[in-house]
């Protein structure tokens, strides 16, 4: 290796710095950085000045950049979106969108093959049946919509489109090469991935115990996973990008949703170094001089743009089942964007000699144009970021609804009453709804999109359960509680709905009065105005420390701790981890001091 091998890499890295600086001057154009990197590569590569030679060193970094990009895409996958009843409706809609996009993409590609514009209709259909996860996620984050129902449905559809697109491309190329046996060996990689995902909670605990002793152990482990799955992919002969994606999924499962520091570090390494090398190298390797002078090539690019956009827009309107028309159209437009995985799939197919050079260039140009058009238009139609939720909706109709409304009102909580106005306690906001109004209309009248909770306490138990489901699925209410039938209790809890049987609540109160009258008095405000509050642990200073080490006030009682969906009973030697949710009983002053400690806004507990 000599100095000439390093020259192209140095030039590409200089361009990687210059592109975002240049785009910051023209923010109104909303050009994605990835598109800027591709265009920079074209200008200084074979299409333009031709001063970036294709060396082995540059090709190595470009390949690793592609693999790292797929790793980061895998890290965006949250497996929890496929679990639990509460997510089933949203996931089913996303799956329906994916199936529609794939079917229409393949049909459109076969039509192009019939016109003689492409030679591999099925493979081209798989490639253009993807989207641009690396555009979808930043746009949703910037708009503050990623954690909303809208954001999660669009994100789930984008993940399915990108992951399954690359999987189908890999299978297609392997079968074309007459290496079906490699797919069987590749099943071993999926089996290993499944085992590691099963062990993810235990590996997460091991990592958290080790990270305080070993610097950047999470980053080391992530790169170890990448190299492991790259090596296994190379060994069995399947596409390396698929192995990298699986490594990302495993890394995300081990790190958990709360490991923002590790994620930021990995994102910085990827998008700051490896990923720009890949896109600039792809742009520099394209030769558009002959392509742009070929009418058939331009026609193919335009037809691919129309086909790919229509294939996403039409099924994307299925989002209407879980959101308003305007939001559904914006989500469909965002999913119509093609970029990273589309270009990666075209690159892999071209290097495997499965598609022609002209087809690859046409797909790249189509991806660039779509990424310039659709995200900007989608943002104009997106819903506004959600406001902080407050207030409790109570569907009256039972003795407990009036008692609950009065109690919450006394505590200063905003109560929105949906029952008989004659049964409403004083000071409660009574909502007037027409007779015979359905659940959706009643919830809209109560402005459920801004409420923090719903208590469905009517005497119609089936109505209560359905109302809670509607509130979750359509309005995204984070907390719903219903009086329910015993037969439905288990399924409702799986869906994230709090529930109790008619008559059991009084029994619980009577038992509490007999066994622990002081606790009951505290909860009802009879002793020092005590209350229960759930707080999230965000402070790095308390991460990994035991409750005993935190030296909490004796008057404060920790009654619950939730970590990764598991409920723990807090003890003195229980370690607190970032992302935990701690439920505490105490006065408002004590809870405020605890909130300061756990949030990181205070270095320690202030004096009382």
Sequential DSSP letters for 35-103: HHHHHHHHHHSTTTT------HHHHHHHHHHHHHHHHHHHHT--GGGGSSGGGHHHHHHHHHHHHHHHH
For residue 383, the 8-state DSSP code is: P
| Alpha-carbon gap, residue 241 to 130, rounded angstroms | 15
What's the pTM value of the predicted model, to 2 decimals?
A: 0.61
Strands 453-456 and 531-536: unpaired
Q: Which two tokens stand for residue 584?
A: 């505490």
Distant-in-sequence, close-in-space partners of 562: CB < 8 Å, separation ≥ 6:
568, 580, 581, 583
Q: Within 10 Å of residue 562's Cβ, how many Cβ atoms?
A: 15
Token pair 């015993």 is found at 486
Q: Which two tokens stand for residue 376?
A: 């900007």
Residues 6+ apart with CB under 8 A from 147: none
Nearest CA among 310, 297, 298, 296 for reference residue 108? 310
- How far, CA to CA in Å, does 190 sit from each of 63, 158, 169, 312, 344? 22, 21, 16, 29, 21
pLDDT at residue 607, as a whole number? 39
**What DSSP letter does each residue of 300-369 carry, written as one string?**
HHHHHHHHHHHHHHHHHGGGGGTS-HHHHHHHHHHHT---HHHHHHHHHHHHTTSS-HHHHHHHHHHHHH
- Cβ count near 191 (within 10 Å): 10
Task: Tell me the pairing of strands 581-586 and 531-536.
Answer: antiparallel
* Residues 491 and 85 sit within 8 Å (Cβ to Cβ): yes
Q: CA triplet 354, 358, 359: central angle to 5 degrees?
A: 55
Is the Cβ–Cβ distance between 416 and 475 less than 8 Å? no
**How many Cβ atoms from other residues are within 10 Å of residue 508's Cβ?**
11
Q: Write b or e for each residue in 309-334: b if 16 or more Cβ atoms lie within 10 A of its Cβ, otherwise e.
A: bebbbebbbbbbebbeeebbbbbbbb
Query: What pLDDT sits at residue 606?
Result: 38
**Structure token pair of residue 162:** 């990108």
Q: Find out whether 291 and 358 touch, Cβ atoms under 8 Å.
A: yes
Q: Please report where in the chains the tokens 């439920």 appear, as a residue.
A: 583
Contact by Cβ (8 Å): 249, 70: no
Residue 145, CA atoms < 13 Å, CB-side half-sphere = 22
> Residue ranges of the chain with pLDDT lower than 50?
84-86, 510, 513, 602-608
Report the alpha-carbon distance of residue 292 to residue 48 in Å, rounded.
Answer: 13
Residue 44's CB is within 10 A of a number of other CB atoms, namely: 21
CB burial readout 427-450, b (16+ within 10 A) else e: ebebbeeeeeeebeebbebbebbe
Question: Where do we find the tokens 């299925």?
Answer: 318
**Which residues have CB under 8 Å from 129's CB, separation 6+?**
101, 102, 105, 106, 161, 165, 168, 311
Mean pLDDT, the chain, rounded, equals: 79
Query: Taking the mean position of all CA atoms in its chain, how far away is CA 16?
Result: 27
Query: DSSP assignment, residue 486?
Result: G
- Domains in the chain, CATH or no CATH each: 3-381 (1.20.1530.20), 392-501 (3.40.50.720), 510-599 (3.30.70.1450)
- The reported pLDDT for the residue numbered 85 is 46
Interhelix angle for 217-236 vs 240-255, to 10°? 150
Helix (H, G, I), strand (E, B) or coil at 284: helix
Pick from 387, 388, 446, 391: nearest CA to 414: 391
């Amino acid at each position: 290796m000599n100095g000439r091998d390093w020259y192209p890499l140095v030039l590409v890295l200089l361009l990687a710095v210059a592109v975002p600086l240049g785009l910051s001057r023209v923010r109104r154009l909303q050009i994605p950085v990835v598109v800027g990197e591709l265009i920079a590569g074209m200008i200084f590569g074979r299409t333009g000045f031709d001063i970036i030679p294709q060396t082995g060193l540059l090709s190595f970094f470009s390949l690793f950049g592609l693999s790292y990009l797929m790793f980061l895409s895998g890290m965006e996958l949250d497996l929890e979106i496929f679990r639990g009843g509460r997510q089933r409706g949203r996931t089913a809609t996303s799956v329906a969108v994916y199936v529609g996009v794939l079917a229409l993409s393949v049909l459109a590609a076969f039509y192009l093959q019939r016109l003689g514009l492409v030679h591999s209709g099925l493979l081209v259909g798989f490639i253009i049946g993807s989207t641009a996860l690396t555009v979808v996620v930043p746009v949703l984050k910037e708009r503050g919509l990623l954690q909303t129902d809208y954001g999660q449905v669009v994100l789930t559809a984008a993940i399915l489109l990108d992951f399954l697109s690359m999987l189908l491309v890999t299978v297609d190329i392997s079968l074309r090469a007459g290496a079906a046996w490699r797919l069987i060996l590749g099943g071993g990689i999926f089996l290993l991935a499944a085992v590691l995902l099963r062990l993810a909670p235990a590996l997460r605990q091991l990592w958290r115990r080790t990270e305080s002793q070993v610097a950047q152990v999470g980053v080391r482990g992530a790169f170890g996973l990448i190299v492991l799955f790259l090596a296994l992919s190379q060994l069995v002969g399947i596409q390396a990008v698929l192995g990298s994606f699986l490594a990302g999924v495993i890394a995300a499962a081990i790190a958990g949703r709360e490991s923002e520091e590790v994620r930021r570090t990995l994102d910085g390494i990827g998008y700051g170094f490896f990923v720009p090398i890949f896109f600039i190298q792809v742009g520099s390797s394209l030769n558009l001089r002959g392509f742009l002078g070929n009418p058939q090539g331009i026609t193919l690019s335009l037809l691919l743009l129309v086909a790919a956009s229509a294939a996403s827009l039409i099924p994307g309107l299925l989002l209407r089942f879980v959101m308003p028309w305007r939001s559904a159209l914006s989500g469909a437009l965002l999913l119509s964007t093609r970029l990273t995985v589309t270009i990666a799939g075209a690159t892999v197919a071209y290097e495997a000699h499965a598609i022609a050079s002209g087809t690859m260039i046409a797909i790249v140009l189509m991806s660039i144009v779509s990424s310039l058009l659709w995200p900007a238009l989608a943002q104009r139609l997106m819903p506004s970021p959600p406001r902080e939720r407050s207030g409790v909706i109570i569907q009256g109709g039972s003795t407990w609804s009036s008692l609950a409304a009065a109690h919450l009102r006394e505590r200063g909580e905003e109560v929105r009453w949906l029952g008989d106005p004659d049964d409403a306690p004083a000071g409660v906001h009574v909502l007037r709804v027409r007779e015979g109004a359905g659940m959706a209309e009643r919830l809209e009248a109560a402005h459920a999109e801004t409420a923090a909770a719903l208590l469905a306490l009517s005497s119609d138990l089936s109505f209560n359960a359905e109302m809670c489901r509607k509130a979750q699925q359509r309005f995204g209410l984070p907390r719903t509680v219903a009086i329910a039938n015993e037969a439905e209790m288990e399924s409702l809890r799986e869906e994230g709905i709090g529930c109790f049987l008619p008559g059991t609540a009084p029994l619980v109160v009577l038992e509490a009065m007999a066994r622990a009258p002081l606790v009951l008095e505290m909860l009802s405000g009879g002793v020092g105005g005590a209350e229960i509050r759930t707080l999230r642990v965000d402070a790095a200073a308390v991460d990994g420390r035991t409750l005993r080490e935190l030296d909490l006030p004796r008057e404060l009682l920790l009654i619950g701790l939730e970590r990764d969906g598991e409920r723990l009973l807090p003890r003195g030697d229980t370690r607190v981890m970032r992302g935990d949710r701690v439920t505490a009983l105490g006065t408002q002053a004590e809870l405020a001091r605890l909130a300061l400690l756990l949030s990181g806004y205070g270095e320690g507990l202030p004096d009382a």
